[in-house]
Amino acid sequence: MSDTPVTYVRTQMLDQQAPPTSEVGPVRWMRENLFSSPMNAILTILSLYVVYVVISHVGPWLVNGIWDADSLSECREIIAATGDGHHSAACFGVITARWHQLVFGYYPSELYWRPVLALVVFLVGIAPVMFPSLPRKLYIVTMAAPFLCFWLLWGGSIWFPIAIALGFGVGVVAHKLLDANVSSLAGMIGAILLPLIYWLYICGPLAGGLASIIPLGIEFVPSRSFGGFMLSIVIGLSAIVISLPLGILLALARRSDLFIIKTCAVVFIEVIRGIPLIVWLFTAQLLLNYFLPPGSSFDLTLRVIIMVTLFAAAYIAEVIRGGLAALPKGQYEGADSLGLNYWQSMQLIVLPQALKISIPGIVNTFIGLFKDTTLVVFIGLFDPLGIASAIRATTEWNGIYWELFLFIGIMFFISCFSMGRYSLYLEKKLQREHR
Amino acid sequence: MVELTQERTVDRSHMQVSDEVAIEIRNMNKWYGTFHVLRDIDLTVQRGERIVICGPSGSGKSTLIRCINRLEEHQAGDIIVDGTELSSDLKNIDKIRSEVGMCFQHFNLFPHLTILENCTLAPIWVRNTPKKEAEEIAMHFLEKVKIPDQAHKYPGMLSGGQQQRVAIARSLCMKPRIMLFDEPTSALDPEMIKEVLDTMIELAEEGMTMLCVTHEMGFAQAVANRVIFMDQGQIVEQNEPTEFFNNPQSERTQLFLSQIIGH
């Protein structure tokens, strides 16, 4: 036994002290992330060198870029006149000179306000869906937006989009009447079949008749005038907006207990998914008219939109099916035990949760879909890449490529990156709310 | 097992069994694939009865009460709930489900809705109750299960016992005539079991018709007027609780009781 006393009483409390400089701020960050070991230090220095080399080559080219030239030769003259002859410079003049063409394609320049207005209508329509805190009255715009945008973009008689919209009214009325008076299955079949019959046989003559009685409309713009980013956005956004509800229905159908509905969904999804998009686009271009009733010649852009939509819907359906499968069985049973019917439990309980789980997958599919719209260049539509080829074929800009493709790439990146950010925002928001 | 009778006396004044039949099950059979899970079940439940169903796991007790609101489909025999026969008619099924409340082992609250929204959902959508009225009803029942102050939280923020009480309140908001409980306390910590059982006892005191699958024998003794013992998909023995616990007739029941009371 030693004599050291075991008891100890602190007489003075220690104040908090600042940590050593190597443990805070940028110094610590660099030590941890860049120079944590000799190997890492070497790699860091090597990477910095690579970054330097790239920037020192590309930087001046970007910074010295010529923005006001009307042709490639003019641009080169300016570079030769200003530089010392050794420095390269980009000819961004092609973007300023052909800006309208890159954005609107061959859309008549006096009608540029129409696609712009259509975009505004679309954004107002989509706003209440994306940000639920906005007033619910905006949903009126959401419902009208598809038809209004269609009419603004293509023009023509106003009766045609109205007649198409009436088809949905036919569906709702048919569902209500049959569901109440016959059975819920009859209501469902009626809600699908009657509008289809209406659209195929009544819609056209009705719109034509109304147009001949009260001719009301704006100048018609054919699809071949569509081009540039406007075309990508029209195809991409239509496909995104339509494929989501379609994909949800397909996913529900694939999990249905009804054999025929389930089989149809499985066959549809597997066939669409199993064949490359470009094949479907060629089908849209060459074959689709054979399947439509005789006499109805369908616009090529519309055909492409339909094909891209169906293609995306098949993917979305599978993504959402994953979300549905991830939901515990108890949620379905909880909804059932309260007496909610199938559609109520789907709408109120199952889909909100399944969609939340599926958000990353859905947005991933949308981003892929938006980029895939560039494939339409192969069936002769002038998407940004098609326009770029057309610009490069002119005498003024023959020989330019980096600047155009860089610009197109950046535009696509901005669109896709913002979609990705929105999905992150949504995920975080829902996470917060449900916790 | 939680001893209830020591801590509170159960008021039996309203626990009257009427002659009216609430549920009638006749010769009901059910198979899972080729497995015969329920065999020749005959059971009549009078209005106001409190029935506890017990038995070893896999004996079909959960399946039995899940057949009553058609969460499981029976293949033979009849089930008549509140005068409505259960068939494949979807409208009948939804009607029965809105009359029969159910509480699950894992609560099955909707995690994306607040407690209040969980409770008002079915009254608003199934009964077309105006939102304001539905909220008043919900608050009334949330007060009854003693968690009105949690109304605006999400289920994930509550303890298991609180969640189960919300689940009970959610069912009560539909003003059900019959309540089914499928092992309501099996997923709970011991100290939370009591708060849930207290809520269930209160419900029994008000004369609710209850079918309860549970291993809480204290609860059975305190409130049940009939205990049913099931094994291998059959009703092996049923009796009033004192007789059932003190004087079990079948060998199988004796073995089961000795095992659960023994520890």
Give domain limits for chain A.
Answer: 25-59, 224-435
- The answer for residues whose C-beta is within 8 angstroms of residue A117's C-beta and 6 or more apart is A152
Nearest Cβ partner of B71 from A333, A349, A352?
Answer: A333
Residue A199: pLDDT above 50? Answer: yes
Q: For CA atoms B254, B255, B256, B257, give the dihedral sign.
A: positive
* Distance (Å) from the alpha carbon of A337 to chain B's nearest alpha carbon: 5
pLDDT in tens, A99-150: 888 999 888 888 889 999 999 999 998 888 888 788 888 888 888 888 889 8
Interface pTM (ipTM) of the complex? Answer: 0.90
Report the DSSP beta bridge partners of residue B32.
B35
Residue A246: pLDDT above 80? Answer: yes
Nearest Cβ partner of B104 from A333, A342, A352?
Answer: A333
Residue B5: pLDDT above 70? Answer: no
**Whole-number Å distance between alpha carbons of B136 and B116:** 10
β-pairing, B76-81 vs B50-54, is unpaired
**Whole-number Å distance between alpha carbons of A298 and A284:** 10
Residues in chain A: 435
Q: For CA atoms B152, B156, B161, B166, give the dihedral sign.
A: positive
DSSP H or E run through B213: strand B209-213
**Whole-number Å distance between alpha carbons of A160 and A169:** 15
Residue A84 has a pLDDT of 64
* Distance (Å) from the alpha carbon of A326 to chain B's nearest alpha carbon: 14
Residue A312 has a pLDDT of 94
Asked if B131 is an interface residue toward chain A (Cβ–Cβ < 8 A), one would say: no
Share in percent of chain A as helix, strand, coil (round to 5):
75, 0, 25
For chain A positions 304-333, those within 8 Å of chain B (CB to CB) are: 328, 330-331, 333
**Whole-number Å distance between alpha carbons of A220 and A359:** 38
Nearest Cβ partner of B156 from A334, A349, A434?
Answer: A434
Cβ contact, residue pair B112, A433, below 8 Å: yes
Cβ contact, residue pair A339, B108, below 8 Å: no
* Distance (Å) from the alpha carbon of B123 to chain A's nearest alpha carbon: 9
Cβ contact, residue pair B156, A348, below 8 Å: no
Chain B partners within 8 Å of A434 (Cβ): 111-112, 154, 156
**Whole-number Å distance between alpha carbons of B150 and B138:** 12
User: Pick from B122, B150, B119: which is nearest to B136 by CA?
Assistant: B119
* Distance (Å) from the alpha carbon of A434 to chain B's nearest alpha carbon: 5
Calculate mean pLDDT across residues A252-260.
91
Nearest Cβ partner of A338 from B111, B126, B157?
Answer: B126
**Whole-number Å distance between alpha carbons of B101 and A195:** 39
- The answer for residues whose C-beta is within 8 angstroms of residue A180's C-beta and 6 or more apart is A187
Asked if B154 is an interface residue toward chain A (Cβ–Cβ < 8 A), one would say: yes
3-state DSSP call for residue B128? coil
> Mean pLDDT over all residues of chain B?
89
Residue A86 has a pLDDT of 63
Which CATH architecture best describes the domain A224-435? Orthogonal Bundle (1.10)
DSSP H or E run through B37: strand B35-46
Report phi then psi at B8, rounded to 5. -145, 150
pTM: 0.84
User: Pick from A58, A92, A88, A99: which is nearest to A72 by CA?
Assistant: A92
> Mean pLDDT over all residues of chain A?
87
- The answer for residues whose C-beta is within 8 angstroms of residue A287's C-beta and 6 or more apart is none
**Whole-number Å distance between alpha carbons of A334 and A387:** 55
- The answer for residues whose C-beta is within 8 angstroms of residue A270's C-beta and 6 or more apart is none
Report the DSSP beta bridge partners of residue B226.
B51
Residue A9 has a pLDDT of 85
**Whole-number Å distance between alpha carbons of A308 and A278:** 10
Of the candidate ranges A77-86, A238-247, B48-57, B99-108, the one whose mean pLDDT is the lowest: A77-86
- CB contact at 8 A, A208 and A221: no
